[in-house]
Structure 1
Amino acid sequence: MKDQLFAVIDVETTGGGINGNRLTEICIVLLKDSVIIDKFTSLINPEKEIPRQITALTGIDNAMVEDAPKFHEVAGKIEELTRDAIFVAHNVNFDYNVLRNEFRELGYEYNRKKLCTVRLSRKLIPGLFSYSLGRLCDSINIPISNRHRAEGDTDATVILFQRLLSLDDDFKVINSFLHVRSRQATLPPHIEAEQIQELPESPGIYLFKDRQHKVIYAGKAINIKKRVVSHFYDRMSKEYNLGQQTYHIDHETTGNELIALLLEAECIRKYYPKFNRAQKRPGPVYQIVSYTNQRGILQLALEKTTKKRESIGTFYSRTLAQEKLEYLCREFKLCPKYCSLQSNVEECSHYSIVSCEGICSGKEPVHAYNKKVKAAIASLVEESSTFVIREKGRHFEEEAFVLVKSGQYQGFGFIDTDAQVSRIDDYEPFLKRQPATYYTHKILSNYLRKQGKPKVIFFEEEPEVPQQVNTARAEMNAAILASHGTLSLFS
């Protein structure tokens, strides 16, 4: 182990999630026997715009990288330098996955053993207040300059790693971090032990791929490594066949279960893996819709559908949808007959709703009744809130977020814990956009019911609504607007 080569690496990127995260700078320092034997550093042209907040953090702007080499021009050098080395970084999964994805864009698989100086520091230098690179270096008197630039952060990480090596001179801790668990040694025939060794023990998703790199199974896990290994020790024939057909395993960490669930749903929708059974077909939803009948009366009705359609409100059970209709009837003095709560009657005679003011018997003018219906519709639209759910990030220096605008899921992202965000637009540069589907809405619905709203930040934002709803809003009393603050989609 004394002659082992270590590549200490730091990268700077454009931000925006792992898949869309492109390199803007890289620094590699090679160590053998704790001595620096080589160093490589370079700006990288990411072939996309660098967001302003990233420039504010790193100092790297579009002009600086305009004439820098593109990744494919330095990929060979990076591969050669790190070929026989263990990949070392502070929060190693971030740097490793960004670099690995750059190679995948070129059609190559980049696989290295990894060591995380955060985890090593926690083990070998326990009890510190913080293990972020800056605070850790301050705590143990390591000089660090040119922060958030690849070379500056790498130089500091090198000194940190040299100290960690001196604290583990028999490599007992390092070997334990590199060791593949004995249970993981018995693997399907086409899986290399290194593929299991690379898997993190943190929340995220994993993809099983066949010989042609086609996704055959997508799953989510709170502990990716543990969940992947469990597939190979399941005696069911489906799991055995899955193992026999798996040649490659990819993963993406998310830091929390919510984003893992959302990302799993998107992978199943996108790849339609043959070993996945759930989530391949959308389940039914119940939608409140409106239409004008032959008398000119604006009616509300329930529709059961498996397709995404325009509606006033969407619910995942008939009971919830009917409860909402009954609430609207009482709150806005509507008629049960014209809210689909009664049928085949001349005049309403609902067992519990007696607030109808006579539209069904001709006692109430149609225009006055329609005005109340529009107010009820507007109240539901008001419930389609804009909000952000804040969750744990992939490491302790970042937070994850899920963005919902006007009741519609927009996607998720990761943001530095020190970043200043006060408006909904501040999240946009970090957002990885995702399609809203039946399953994403159901996942968020279940999350809000179970978790409540302690991690939810609501924003004032006008949703786009039909003209008649805008007109109704103008006529509504402020008290009505103030009395509805929940998201109708998740009612």
Structure 2
Amino acid sequence: MKDQLFAIIDVETTGGGINGNRLTEICIVLLCGSNVLDKFTSLINPEKEIPRHITALTGIDNSMVADAPKFFEVAKKVEEFTRDAIFVAHNVNFDYNVLRNEFRELGFEYNRRKLCTVRLSRKLIPGLFSYSLGRLCDSINIPISNRHRAEGDTDATVILFQRLLSLDEDYKVINSFLHARSRQATLPPHIEAEQIHSLPESPGIYLFKDRQHKVIYAGKAIDIKKRVVSHFYDRMSKEYQLGQETYHIDHETTGSELVALLLEAECIRKYYPRFNRAQKRPGPVYQIVSYTNQRGILQLALERTNKLRESIGTFYNRALAQEKLEFLCREFNLCPKYCSLQSHVEECSHYEIVSCEGVCSGSEEVETYNTKVAKAIASLTKESSTYVIREKGRHFEEEAFILVKDGKYQGFGFIDTEVQVSRPEDYEPFLKRQTATYHTHKILSNYMRKQGAPKVIFFENSLDTEISRPVARAQRNAMVMAAHGTLSLF
């Protein structure tokens, strides 16, 4: 190992995400052991405009690179210079991936073993406030000049790497980082491998946090460890940036994927993490609403909205909502015109529904018709059932449960399998209350459509009695409700 070649590298780029970066400058210092053998440095014409904020940072502008070689002109030199060498850089994944993408643009695969001086420094010089190159060099008295230029940063990284080699004379740490099964080379610079090793291989949620322990991403997984590691193998710009800003990883096991989904939705609502895109805003829904028209007729209508408000029923696509309106129309002998199933007609003439008893033609009293509409609305409201979903717990002697009362999500909890429960109230002492939202509503609706009754205990709704008991009718009504996505949020 004393004769091992190391290529210490720093690159400057145009910015614009890891996949859109083009080189503007490169410097490579070749070491044999800790001895400097050679150096290569060059500006590179990126073949695209350099943004002003990049010029402000590096000092490299478009005029400086106009006559510089393009990457294909120096690619052979870079390949030969780093051949048989271990690729070393401060935050190595950035430099390595940018350079590899440049080779891919030319149709070549560039593969080298790599070492990260950020991760090595955290291991061999623990306890520092910051491991950015500038602050690290200040902390251990390494001179650094011409900052944010490839040669200046490379020269400082060479001295840093020589210092690290002196602290690891038997190459024990370096060899562990280079081991084929080691995740050290793929992990982001600020995450200790021990954090990954300690993650469970079971369902739950995980939280990526920044230096100040602020949640920047929340996710759910069937296998927490596997899912977390997959973020670091993803070469998308967003995933790379997420890794660069992650300093801490927290997790919570749930035993159940359904509970993990609900808890993830709660974390996104609570923390509004910067890197989460989904579930930050409610999507469009279709709601059945009622109003009294100019004739005094109680009319049903369908509204598409992004804001959930009190309604007769909420649905996630128009077809389900219209199907429910047609069902009410037939079941209670309502008028298609006044159920918004027909428009611009004096009297209803629906191609299929012929149950209207004449309110549109004046042959049925408005008061009589309104009584039927009120009964239809009441029937839909009754479909907001009380039920408990039972799922796998976090260990063998426990079950997870999700409680829904009168159609409104209450939260989840865990209960020992030996505990006897027969009423919704029995679950209350074990309940972790959560906020019912558009997303929890949708999660539960989708689950009920897919899973059905086997894992669900339904209870008869009653505001006047203390005891609620499982009954077949409540199951049947609730399954109709679930199939149409009419869980209540109110």
Q: For this structure pair, what is the TM-score category when the shorter chain's length is used for normalisation?
A: 0.5 to 0.7
Q: CA deviation at 1:490?
A: 4.9
Contact 1:385 1:487 in 2 (8 A): no
Match of 2:181 in 1: 182
3-state SS of 2:279 partner:
coil
Q: Distance in 2 between matches of 1:240 and 1:392?
A: 34
The CA deviation at 1:255 is 0.2
- How far apart, CA to CA, are the structure 2 residues paired with 1:211 and 1:448? 40
Partner of 1:313: 313
* Separation in 1, partners of 2:271, 2:277: 13
| Aligned positions of 1:93-108 closer than 5 A | none
* Equivalent AA in structure 2 for residue 260 of structure 1: A
Could you list the runs of 5+ residues in structure 1 that have no partner in the other structure?
Answer: 1-179, 465-479
Q: 1:202-241 alignment to 2 at 5 Å?
A: 202-241=202-241
Alignment-mate amino acid for residue 286 of structure 1: Y
Write the letter of the residue equivalent to 2:432.
Answer: K
8 Å CA contact 2:200, 2:224 repeated in 1: yes
Given that residues 337 and 348 in structure 1 are in contact (C-alpha distance below 8 angstroms), is that contact kept between their aligned partners in structure 2? yes
Task: Give 3-state SS (helix, strand or coil) of 1:359's partner.
Answer: coil
Match of 1:269 in 2: 269
The residue number in structure 2 matching 1:344 is: 344
SS of residue paired to 1:303: strand
Structure 2 SS opposite 1:326: helix
Distance 2:264 2:208 in 1: 12
C-alpha contact (below 8 Å) 2:335/2:359 kept by paired residues: yes
Give the number of aligned pairs.
Answer: 297
Residues 391 and 399, structure 1, Cα contact 8 Å, conserved in 2: yes
1:288 aligned partner: 288
Determine the C-alpha separation between the residues in 2 that align with 1:483 and 1:241.
Answer: 49
Question: What is the alpha-carbon distance in structure 2 between the residues aligned to residue 350 and residue 244 of structure 1?
Answer: 61
Residues 184 and 196, structure 1, Cα contact 8 Å, conserved in 2: no
Report what 1:401 is aligned to: 401
Question: Where does residue 251 of structure 2 map in the other structure?
Answer: 251
Query: What is the match of residue 330 of structure 2?
Result: 330
| Displacement over 2 Å in runs of 4+ | 180-186, 480-490
Secondary structure class of the residue paired with 1:410: strand
> For residues 441 and 481 of structure 1, do their structure 2 counterparts lie closer, same or farther at Cα, with a shift above 3 Å needed?
closer
Q: Alignment identity in percent?
A: 79
Structure-1-length-normalised TM-score = 0.58
**Residue identity opposite 2:364 in structure 1:** E
Task: Answer yes or no: is 1:415 the counterpart of 2:408.
Answer: no
Structure-2 separation of matches of 1:183 and 1:380: 58
User: Which protein, 1 or 2, shows the higher relative CO under an 8 Å CA cutoff with sep ≥ 6?
Assistant: 1
Q: Relative to structure 1, is the Cα distance of residues 264 and 487 closer, same or farther in structure 2, using a 3 angstrom cutoff? A: farther
- Structure 2: which amino acid aligns with 1:443? I
SS at match of 2:320: helix
Which string of whole-angstrom CA distances, capped at 9 and with x for unpartnered residues, describes residues 273-304 of structure 1? 11111111110111111111122211111111
**Paired letter, 2:245:** Q
2:297, 2:474 → 1: CA distance?
A: 24
Over 3 Å counting, the alpha-carbon distance change for 1:183 and 1:442 in structure 2 is: farther
Q: CA deviation at 1:308?
A: 2.2
TM-score of the aligned structures, taking structure 2 as reference length: 0.59
Tell me, in whole angstroms, the C-alpha distance in 2 between the residues paired with 1:262 and 1:315: 19
Q: Secondary structure at the match of 1:349?
A: coil
Structure 1: which amino acid aligns with 2:235?
R
Q: In the alignment, is the contact (CA less than 8 A) between 1:313 and 1:488 conserved in 2?
A: no
* Corresponding position of 1:446: 446
* Cα offsets for 1:326-378 (capped at 9, x unmatched): 01001111000100111111100111111100000011111211111111111
**In the alignment, residue 273 of structure 2 is paired with which amino acid?**
P
Deviates more, 1:292-301 or 1:333-342: 292-301
| Counterpart position of 1:192 | 192
The letter of the residue matching 1:391 is E
Provide, for residues 132-172 of structure 1, a one-character-per-residue CA deviation record: whole Å limited to 9, x for no partner.
xxxxxxxxxxxxxxxxxxxxxxxxxxxxxxxxxxxxxxxxx
From the superposition, tell whether residues 483 and 371 of structure 1 become closer, same or farther in structure 2 (CA, over 3 Å): farther
Relative to structure 1, is the Cα distance of residues 463 and 235 closer, same or farther in structure 2, using a 3 angstrom cutoff? farther
Q: Is the 8 A contact 1:382 1:481 kept in 2?
A: no
1:26-45 matches, within 5 Å, as none
Unpaired segments ≥5 residues, structure 2: 1-178, 465-472, 485-490
SS across alignment from 2:194 = helix
Q: Give the CA deviation at 1:216.
A: 0.6
Give a deviation string over 1:404-444, Cα, whole Å, max 9, x none.
Answer: 11111111100000001001000011111111111111111
What residue is the counterpart of 1:424 in the other structure? 424
Q: Post-superposition shift, 1:481?
A: 9.4
Contact 2:413–2:432 (CA under 8 A) maintained in structure 1: yes
> 2:162 — aligned with what?
none
3-state secondary structure, aligned to 1:182? coil
Q: Residues 181 and 250 of structure 1: is their aligned pair in 2 closer, same or farther, counting only changes over 3 Å? A: farther
SS of match in other structure, 2:479: coil
Check 1:259–1:305 CA distance in 2 against 1; reply closer, same or farther (3 A cut): same
What is the deviation of 1:185? Answer: 3.4
2:299 aligned with 1:299: yes
Query: Residue in 1 aligned with 2:479?
Result: 486
Q: Secondary structure at the match of 1:360?
A: coil
| SS of match in other structure, 1:184 | coil
Q: CA deviation at 1:456?
A: 0.5
Q: Report SS of the residue matched to 1:218.
A: strand
